[in-house]
Structure 1
Amino acid sequence: MSSLRLVPGTPEAVLAALSEVLDGTGRPFAPVPPDPAAAERVRRATAPDEPLEDGCAVVLTTSGSSGEPKGVLLSREALVASATATHDRLGGPGQWLLPMKPYFVGGLQILTRSLLAGTTPVVADDLAAAAAMTGARRYTAMVPTQLTRYLDTAPDALRGFDAIVIGGASMGAELKARAAAAGVTAVPAYGMTETGSGCVYAGRPLDGTELALDDGRILIKGPTLFSGYRLQPALTKEVLQDGWFRTQDRGRFVDGRLEVVGRVDDVVISGGVNVTLTAVQARLLEHPEVADAVVLGVPDQEWGSRVVAFVVGKAELETLRDHVAETLPRTWAPRELVRLDELPMLGSGKVDRQRLLDGVR
């Protein structure tokens, strides 16, 4: 068995380590963020001093948006399958702009695609660097929040890409319409660290990937899947069954395309009533005095779970409760409002749910 090496989570260090594992000359590695607390979480999740499972090329740490991070084992074959299928779907290999951290799967796979395409990735925090790109085809990836900001500030730069992969969170209908109206090719992607990055583009699986639903839960099968969780065989067995990965997401098929409708744990029981948190959140976002919102269930002795709305905006609690009750059961309306200047985000672009929960428990 190979031992695991920890490498700095910089684009240069990750690119070098990735190049070595892809050509078979380097040891498996785990990229480490610069923040000391995040680095310690990576150490706990990856356990570098323990023997490494066979076939692993990279161990990535999940973002831990709702709990303790896990070490996800990705093989060389899974990395290559994901990168190849992505290029096939987008129209062929190209040059990539890397605006995200390479210690998350989205950033790491941009580097993988670049290596396989023989192109030099352009590392930048904003789109100004796109002017230096020389590839015949140009790609980048970002989260919906970034796309929204760039549509406001740099729509011309967005139009310079052959495709922009949007991941990390759901891309709403309004944002899709805005991008299309601006002439921007934004491709919503669904996937996660365990699927080797996005494996469903615009509702359709990449070549080689299969989808199924089990009582609404999304199941995924294909060559991009992870091998298991680091040193957690019981958890691996629970989520990997007969080649299928049982996600924590719920979905449905609409006209043959997968539509993600929320997480399995997005339904909580509050006062004996099943409340779909994603539906409440979507309703809050329709209020003109709500700029952003997340709705979570918080353990409560009286209610079992109480529905808490974390809101960026001026709206008052009773106003929002009435707004929710116009289209949803009033029993679904939030019982508590936490007003924020902005939602806390993880480096992956996802909302830091655990931080929100820790602030109200």
Structure 2
Amino acid sequence: MPRSLLDLAATRLADADLVRVVAQALDGTGPALLAQDPGARIPDDVPDDVAAVVTTSGSTGIPRRVWLGSEALFASITATAARLGGPGRWLLALPLTHVAGLQVLARAAVAGHAPVVLPPGPFRPRAFAAATATLPAGRRYTSLVPTQLHRLLDDADRDVLAAALSFDAILVGGAALSPALAARAADAGLKIVTTYGMSETCGGCVYDGVPLDGVRLALDDAGHVLIAGPVLAHGYDDPAATADAFLTVAGVRHLRTQDLGVLDEGPPQHLDVLGRADDVVLTGGVNVPVAPVEAALAGWGGLGEVCVVGVPDDAWGQRVVAVATVTGHAPTLDAVRARVRDVVGAVSAPRSLVIVDALPLRGPGKVDRRATADLARTAPDPRPEN
């Protein structure tokens, strides 16, 4: 019998009710949880074995509803608790309309505790500190995106740092964590756990490069990351999309991601994600992957967050542009180009540098590359001196 859905975006629930509705969704006695942005069309129902539906646009901008089963969610929650050292109290700092926020809610509910929830609105470090102060004693966890971690580390208030230091683990995902930001967090003493995953894997399924218990990784011939294990979604509400993304390899069901990676079989397996296969700029007839350029520049020379995009150019086809925030004095374009030449290679060196107050975001904190590229197209076009 099809199940009805509870739209989390349109429901006002007291904290105590959150545990109840999640428990009922997981055991099948209540409606499935619907995580989607406000205003999206609500489906009439879902199959009986679906416990949660996450609506995601992904990088393609094509809306897809991901069907998550109870077994997959329980597998993810159990493996996460085992990796982190046991169940704990959770601070919810991400929207419930996305899988990372939904998973914080589900982990807290399975542990038997209502999460402490940050007030709605923009992320504010001092609100984070105030909410953390209300968490009961015991193991403490939260999940953030890199932008939120940036803001915590940039805040000079001692209470903010003390709050961040009180967590036994801060999961950071949703976007790549730059080496510079990871180093800042480590220097501050924060217990950071980097996560990799997506809605189709119930959120993060690889922690600090190592897959959670039961998860297995592989690479296809093109270097795409393949994920197998009990955390996989049933699929999408679109059968054709499901058939395209989920495939059987040697008798085992896998999700074929659009990410490129390098895999060390170990044991344990260890994955380094290189970035999305389609995150390249074709400039002068050469494909330039943007991830290594961003990693070389983020947190370097007064730069903060960095997004590298391509914009149309008569001479190059596409021009490599670095769009960045600053934490101090902005470096010159020539200094940026020299840095990338030394670390990545001359062909990858940006030919423009655009400084912004903040990078455009979508979802729970991922950089919106389309909006960033639009911004770069309209920015002044300083040319390098060499």
User: Residues 56 and 190 (structure 1 numbering): CA distance in 2 closer, same or farther, change over 3 Å?
Assistant: same
1:149 aligns to what SS in structure 2?
helix
How far apart, CA to CA, are the structure 1 residues paired with 2:245 and 2:167?
Answer: 36
User: Residues 359 and 85 (structure 1 numbering): CA distance in 2 closer, same or farther, change over 3 Å?
Assistant: same
What is the CA distance between 1:52 and its match in structure 2? Answer: 3.1
Q: Identify the match of residue 285 of structure 1 among 294, 298, 302.
A: 298
1:58 corresponding residue in structure 2 = 52
Q: Could you give the per-residue CA deviations for residues 257-303 of structure 1, whole angstroms, max 9, x where no partner exists? A: 21112111123432211211112222333641422210123466764
How far apart, CA to CA, are the structure 2 residues paired with 1:11 and 1:330?
Answer: 53
What is the CA distance between 1:89 and its match in structure 2? Answer: 0.9
| CA RMSD of superposed structures (Å) | 2.6
2:289 corresponding residue in structure 1 = 276
Q: Identify the match of residue 252 of structure 1 among 235, 244, 262.
A: 262
Aligned partners of 2:89 and 2:108 also within 8 Å: yes
2:172 corresponding residue in structure 1 = 166
Gaps of 5+ in 1: 34-38
Aligned partners of 2:361 and 2:367 also within 8 Å: yes
User: Residues 325 and 245 (structure 1 numbering): CA distance in 2 closer, same or farther, change over 3 Å?
Assistant: same
Aligned partners of 1:11 and 1:102 also within 8 Å: no
Q: Identify the match of residue 86 of structure 2 among 78, 84, 92.
A: 92
Summarize the alignment of residues 1-361 of structure 1 with structure 2, pairs less than 5 Å apart.
1-9=1-9, 12=13, 15=18, 16-33=20-37, 39-40=38-39, 42-43=40-41, 48-49=43-44, 52-53=46-47, 55-125=49-119, 126-151=128-153, 152=155, 153=157, 154-214=160-220, 215-230=222-237, 232-242=238-248, 243-253=253-263, 256-285=269-298, 287-298=300-311, 303-313=316-326, 314-359=330-375
Aligned partners of 1:2 and 1:28 also within 8 Å: no
User: Residues 59 and 305 (structure 1 numbering): CA distance in 2 closer, same or farther, change over 3 Å?
Assistant: farther
Letter in 2 for 1:279: P
How far apart, CA to CA, are the structure 1 residues paired with 2:358 and 2:182?
Answer: 22
Deviates more, 1:247-256 or 1:78-87: 247-256
Q: Could you give the per-residue CA deviations for residues 44-82 of structure 1, whole angstroms, max 9, x where no partner exists? A: xxx514x63452221111254452332111111111111
How far apart, CA to CA, are the structure 2 residues paired with 1:332 and 1:156?
Answer: 40
Aligned partners of 2:93 and 2:143 also within 8 Å: yes
How far apart, CA to CA, are the structure 1 residues paired with 2:174 and 2:363?
Answer: 10
Letter in 1 for 2:371: R
Q: Could you give the per-residue CA deviations for residues 306-327 of structure 1, whole angstroms, max 9, x where no partner exists? A: 3232222434545533443344
1:100 aligns to what SS in structure 2?
coil
Letter in 2 for 1:351: V
Deviates more, 1:131-140 or 1:205-214: 131-140
User: Residues 206 and 357 (structure 1 numbering): CA distance in 2 closer, same or farther, change over 3 Å?
Assistant: same
How far apart, CA to CA, are the structure 1 residues paired with 2:299 and 2:185?
Answer: 19
How far apart, CA to CA, are the structure 2 residues paired with 1:178 and 1:359?
Answer: 28
Normalised to the residue count of structure 1, the TM-score between the two structures is 0.87
Aligned partners of 1:277 and 1:297 also within 8 Å: no
How far apart, CA to CA, are the structure 2 residues paired with 1:138 and 1:11?
Answer: 25
What is the CA distance between 1:124 and its match in structure 2? Answer: 1.8
Deviates more, 1:258-267 or 1:306-315: 306-315
How far apart, CA to CA, are the structure 1 residues paired with 2:34 and 2:352?
Answer: 40
How far apart, CA to CA, are the structure 2 residues paired with 1:335 and 1:66?
Answer: 26
2:114 aligns to what SS in structure 1?
coil
What is the CA distance between 1:8 and its match in structure 2? Answer: 3.8
Gaps of 5+ in 2: 120-127, 378-386
How far apart, CA to CA, are the structure 2 residues paired with 1:83 and 1:286?
Answer: 33
Q: Could you give the per-residue CA deviations for residues 223-251 of structure 1, whole angstroms, max 9, x where no partner exists? A: 11111122x22221111001111111111
Letter in 2 for 1:224: V
- Residue identity (%): 47
Q: Could you give the per-residue CA deviations for residues 109-150 of structure 1, whole angstroms, max 9, x where no partner exists? A: 111111111112111251322222224222111122322332
1:80 aligns to what SS in structure 2?
helix
How far apart, CA to CA, are the structure 2 residues paired with 1:190 and 1:93?
Answer: 20
What is the CA distance between 1:22 and its match in structure 2? Answer: 1.3
User: Residues 287 and 66 (structure 1 numbering): CA distance in 2 closer, same or farther, change over 3 Å?
Assistant: farther
